Amino acid sequence: MKKYMMLCVAILLLVACSNNTELGSNPPKVTVEVDGENYETELGSYCWQGGTTGSGECVDKAGPKELLNGKQPIVVQPEDELAIQVDLKRQPDEVELEQVKNNQSTNISGFKNMRFTTPKEKGTYFYAFRADWANQKEKNTSDGDAWYAFHIRVE
């Protein structure tokens, strides 16, 4: 029984000491850069394990259109280059960008090095950016993941 208790204490100490403080206690700010100007995104759903407490938090929010209701889109030109910037020293291990239209999501295949080109056709486009920070010690475990929403108007 004493060995069992010592094992439990050792596991608890290991978990408590392995908290990922480099991520901070909340998902980072993400901006979209167009022609040297930065525009904020809206934080959507996320699960976050950062911080020193060791406890995680998951928050479920509405989709991009609902999150951006009443907000002005970023005005761009056809085929402008946009860059997504994550305000955190440790960059995400995995990212993806989706265009959302009529509640259907399509991956942006040209999303490379956190950059993409706006569509040629005029109109308003909604996007969902997902970032995931893998746990550095445990395989197939995440320290945090978050979705961010923004929209553009191609003129």
pLDDT of residue 123: 95
Task: Give the torsion sign (CA, 85, 87, 91, 96).
Answer: negative
Q: Which of 45-59, 75-89, 134-148 has the lowest mean pLDDT?
A: 45-59
Cβ atoms of 37 and 74 closer than 8 Å:
no
pTM: predicted TM-score of the whole model, two decimal places:
0.82
Cβ atoms of 100 and 107 closer than 8 Å:
no
Pairing state between β 81-86 and 115-117: antiparallel
- 39-67 pLDDT, tens digit per residue, is 999 999 999 986 555 568 899 999 999 99
Is residue 5 very low, low, confident or very high in pLDDT (cuts 50, 70, 90)?
Answer: very low
Cβ atoms of 123 and 153 closer than 8 Å:
yes
